[in-house]
Structure 1
Amino acid sequence: MLLLFQHLNPTMNEKNLNPKNVLKAGPWLMIAVLLVFFINAGRSDIQSTGLKGSVKVDGSSTVFPVTEAVGEEFQLENKDVRVTIGSSGTGGGFEKFIGKEIDVCDASRPIKDEEKKAAEKAGIDYIELEVAYDGLSVVVNKGNAFVNSLTTQELKKIWKPKSKVKKWSDIRSTWPDKRINLYGPGTDSGTFDYFTKTIMGEEGASRPDYTSSEDDNVLVQGITRDKHGLGYFGFAYYEENKDRLKLVAVDAGKGPVYPSRASVSSNTYAPLSRPLYVYVRTDSLKRPEIKAFIKYFLNIGPRLVEQVGYVKVPVKSDKENRARLNKALGSPEEVDKK
């Protein structure tokens, strides 16, 4: 405020900044004072919602960009609520969720039967919310000029346990006789579970000799620096780095199809289109800040989902999400949309 006064009246400083001198300074300075006052008052009304506390989230690195975007906007409107978001992988997230270390678990696959049993044993009740659709993306280095598509059978040949694929020429004889370097999610990742179950037909079935990480950004960096790199991760990470990566079309028998919002939404990008979830502890929902955060997620999430590169859920799923939340809250009232 002092800087504004000094701009309008160079003689103003910290020592003589008082109401009497402001009035002497003239009408324009008085108008400036009132303007700053009302602007700050308005900002205070927006940011001071009365909510306090914390929201703890962990889990899937694929879902992370969505939750991070929601968390950032939520904190802008609720300055006294701290939202912390980790990305230890879906499996790691569920471990923390069941251990009551977090309120919300991001998941790129549905909760497993053994995780359900562990949650029940620990007395954890929860709701499942379907928040987005993703096209699991196969990518290579931007400089790769020969790989444009792969069949699901070729993906299986590359990634299956005890695979003998070492060079590009082991996949197609016309490709270079150069070593192929693989990058993929770690075993705690829901993306790993989904890919292995879908491509190999058995969850967890994969060759171990590849560069793995639960952090998709690590995989992105590896492939961008490796001209013979190939890997897979969520579509949003390709979208964010498409200037540095090359997307590979997947052929499941009906011709090569690239993942995109349209192909994921129509499920023509098969079999690698999938839903993404968040799981919320019902005991955490008793806290006002958690209740507000999840309502906010459902209201603003669809817009942010598309901004980060995923596909928003259909109207039917949105209604089911709201019904589940209302039931958990013990309230028949609809979760209002913004």
Structure 2
Amino acid sequence: MTRQSERNSRFSRREFLAATGGLGVAGLAGCTQDNPSGDATDEPTEAGSDGSGSGGDGGSDGLSGDISIAGSSTVFPLASAMAERFEEQHSDVSISLQSTGSGGGFANYFCTGQTDFNNASRPIQPEEEEQCGGNDVEPVELKVATDALTVIVNNDNDFLGDGLTVEQLNEIWSAESPPETWADVNSEWPDEPLELYGPSDASGTYDYFHETVIGEEGGHRQDYSPTEQDRTIIQGVAGSEYAMGYLGFAYYSQNQDTVQAVPIKDGEGDYVEPSLDTALSGEYTPLSRPLFTYPKVSALEEEHIAEFARFWIENSTSESIVADEVGYVPLSEDERDEMLEKIDSAVGGSA
């Protein structure tokens, strides 16, 4: 599997839906956008309520320029929603988005100085920070939402009962003596081959699942179908009765009629379904996780980029955008204020 990035997302989410004619998952196979979300239906909060930010006058406030963003496919739909709204308010600002995977974005775009932001579904790694430092790229970590990483199976799967334990997930996905059939995991399950779909190793979702389910000392099995496009995981699982996959909650939430989510049991606890509520409460362990975007300090020196960063964080508490439209848990007001302080500190420190 090559780490091939998607083409720039230069048409809006409305145009994307119009182009696909409202088709379901199968109808999206020929598109390179990795965006499960629907049309925008709400008005955004104005960034920079202190007068520094976004009004509704298009480009009349003087903001102009390009913004380039790569990275996580999980964060992509949220970034897309924020970018569309910002461009609507600032017609002279052009935002390009690529879904490359967290690691692919850091290694190939952000840390080489080619992009202004990198989205990530896990924290930046020490080796990535070292690569960035070698190219005079200083990242600023901004939390933008919380995700409930979701394990999915085919709608005809009726043998899992209450769900899966973390131990069973480990057994299924571990490279050490991986089971070949469902019956190898539980003798009461069908003696049918496991058909597995998941993100490639360029993905932060892969990294997070590897760390929390398999463990840092273990290896992720490689005899599965890896992809950087989450809709391909949906398609694969929907097309086979004995398939399983994992991906970000937003993609599942937009395809709940196509596949089913698997409740997960961690230790001695109960089986817990992935949802915004269980991710927020902390019940859905260990698969609830923070999502990030990383602007570089030098990019924040440009007013239109700093204003977009503020705009995104200002709207990160929006239930209608983050939860209802995209499918993630919004930030709390305290988290929002902390992230805004990070932006202001970076801008002030680079002045």
| TM-score, structure 2 as length reference | 0.79
Q: Percent identity?
A: 38
1:44-75 Cα shifts (integer Å, max 9, x gaps): 97223332211100100001110000011111
Matched, 1:57 2:66: no
Structure 2 unaligned runs (5+)?
1-54
Matched, 1:111 2:124: yes
1:61-119 Cα shifts (integer Å, max 9, x gaps): 00111000001111111112111111110001112101111100000000001111111
Matched, 1:295 2:307: no
Matched, 1:46 2:57: yes
Matched, 1:71 2:74: no
Structure 2 Cα separation of the partners of residues 292 and 281 of structure 1: 14
| Secondary structure, aligned partner of 1:73 | helix
| Secondary structure, aligned partner of 1:208 | coil
Structure 1 Cα separation of the partners of residues 317 and 338 of structure 2: 14
The equivalent of 1:81 in structure 2 is 93
Structure 1 Cα separation of the partners of residues 159 and 57 of structure 2: 54
The 1:165/1:291 distance shift into structure 2, 3 A limit, reads same
Once the two structures are superposed, the pairs formed by residues 248-263 of structure 1 within 5 Å of their partners are 248-253=262-267, 254-263=269-278
Matched, 1:285 2:300: yes
| Secondary structure, aligned partner of 2:306 | helix
Tell me if structure 2 keeps the 8 A contact 1:196–1:203: no
TM superposition shift of 1:163 = 3.2
Between the two proteins, the alignment pairs up a number of residues equal to 288
The equivalent of 1:3 in structure 2 is none
1:208-252 Cα shifts (integer Å, max 9, x gaps): 000001211111111111221101010101001111011100001
RMSD (Å) for aligned C-alpha atoms: 1.6
| Secondary structure, aligned partner of 2:96 | strand
Structure 1 range deviating more: 103-112 or 169-178: 169-178
Where is the helix percentage greater, Structure 1 or Structure 2?
A: 1
1:98-146 Cα shifts (integer Å, max 9, x gaps): 1111100000000001111111111111211001001110000112122
Matched, 1:91 2:109: no
Structure 2 Cα separation of the partners of residues 262 and 101 of structure 1: 37
Matched, 1:316 2:334: yes
One-letter amino acid of the structure 2 residue matched with residue 258 of structure 1: E
Once the two structures are superposed, the pairs formed by residues 158-307 of structure 1 within 5 Å of their partners are 158-202=172-216, 205-253=219-267, 254-303=269-318, 304-306=321-323, 307=325
The 1:204/1:211 distance shift into structure 2, 3 A limit, reads farther
1:3-49 Cα shifts (integer Å, max 9, x gaps): xxxxxxxxxxxxxxxxxxxxxxxxxxxxxxxxxxxxxxxxx972233
The equivalent of 2:7 in structure 1 is none
| Secondary structure, aligned partner of 2:133 | helix
Structure 1 Cα separation of the partners of residues 83 and 316 of structure 2: 10
- Which structure is larger by alpha-carbon Rg, 1 or 2? 1
Tell me if structure 1 keeps the 8 A contact 2:56–2:89: no
| TM-score, structure 1 as length reference | 0.82
One-letter amino acid of the structure 2 residue matched with residue 138 of structure 1: V
The equivalent of 2:140 in structure 1 is 127
The equivalent of 1:7 in structure 2 is none
